[in-house]
Amino acid sequence: MRTMRLVVLVSGNGTNLQAILDAVRSGELNARLAVVISNKQDAYGLERARTAGVPAVVKEKTRGQERAVYDAELAHLVGSYQPDWVVLAGWMRILSMPFISRFPNRIINLHPALPGAFPGVDAIERAFQAYQQGKISHTGVMVHLVPDEGVDSGPLLNQCMVPIFQDDTLETLQQKIHACEHVVLVETLKKLAAQMEDDDAKSFVISI
Ligand code: GAR
């Protein structure tokens, strides 16, 4: 049984990366993290990777460097680890086609909102504001493929609804969303791993 190879891209704290690391360590998720890459030198996610014995690499955009050039270099770096999946787990840079076209249907993004709602930064804060204005009664979390430069949009792989209650504060909503993300992301990766094993089994049957 082949083990799914992941490259995880992070920009910050890395609690979702931690959820993946924990699921791999416990055997819940049959995957190997080939590397964790960050565009921020001080991202705590890098520390989490090192603690788990996973290579941690910083790839910062240099001053004046064009986005397309940075993204092409990043693609080259990520490609050198031969990932089955590239996981954007709190990666806070929009990726352009020089990166995306290198990994067709192989990039997944986690976002703390439901499809079509609150793309971009501060999604949880904006959802909470919308709740206070009586515009929504729930928000959520989604995992989707990244086929193009669209911000937090693309074919949906998984989602989870998070209700907002009257006694919720921004902090409690953030806690609920993050708890939900950790589950949804790992569940999605488990499905992708199972699919990969299935595909491998089929190609084995065909080849004998
Ligand atoms: C997560 O909430 C993730 O969904 C969000 O960044 C956070 C990273 O947390 N991503 C986006 O907003 C992408 N547009 P973490 O570093 O603790 O995993």
pLDDT digits (tens, 9 = 90+) for 114-147: 999 999 999 999 999 999 999 999 999 999 999 9
Whether pLDDT at 149 is above 90: yes
| Cβ(188) – ligand 1 distance below 6 Å | no
Q: Is the CB of 181 under 6 A from ligand 1?
A: yes
Does some domain include residue 78? yes
Confidence of residue 200 (pLDDT cuts 50, 70, 90): confident
pLDDT tens digits, one per residue of 166-187: 999 999 999 999 999 999 999 9
Distance CA(115)–CA(98), nearest Å, equals 25
Q: Worst-scoring range by mean pLDDT, 19-33, 37-51, 92-106, 188-202?
A: 188-202
Residue 207: its pLDDT value, please? 54
**8 Å CB contact between 75 and 103:** yes
Atom of ligand 1 nearest to the CA of 109: 13
Task: Examine the pLDDT at 201 and tell me if it is beyond 90.
Answer: no
Q: Is the model's pLDDT at 203 over the cut of 90?
A: no
pTM: 0.95
Q: Per the domain annotation, does 114 fall within a domain?
A: yes
Q: Is the pLDDT of residue 208 over 70?
A: no
Q: Catalytic one among 76, 111, 144, 178?
A: 111
Q: Which atom of ligand 1 is nearest to the CA of 151?
A: 14
Task: Tell me if 151 is assigned to some domain.
Answer: yes
Residue 192 confidence (pLDDT): 96
Write down the mean pLDDT value for the chain. 95
User: Averaged over 9-22, what is the pLDDT?
Assistant: 98
Catalytic, 111? Answer: yes
DSSP structure class, residue 2: P
Closest ligand 1 atom to Cα of 110: 4
Q: What is the CATH number of the domain that holds 186?
A: 3.40.50.170
Q: What is the DSSP letter of 157?
A: E
State if residue 180 touches ligand 1 by the CB under 6 angstroms criterion: no
On whether residue 130 sits in a domain, the answer given is yes
Round to whole Å and give the CA distance between 170 and 175. 9
Whether 119 lines ligand 1, by a CB cut-off of 6 Å, is no
**Would 35 be classed as within a structural domain?**
yes
Which stretch of DSSP H or E encloses residue 123?
helix 123-132
Cα of 124 vs centre of ligand 1, distance in Å, is 10
Torsion of CA 172, 176, 182, 184, to 10 degrees: -160
Number of domains present in the structure of the chain: 1
pLDDT value, residue 17: 98
| Cα torsion 118, 123, 126, 132: sign | positive
Residue 200 included in any domain: no
Q: Which residue is associated with the tokens 């891209």?
A: 9
- Residue 167 domain flag: yes
Kindly give the distance from the C-alpha atom of residue 174 to the centroid of ligand 1, in angstroms, as a whole number: 11
Distance CA 5, CA 33 (A): 6
Domain assignment present for 205: no
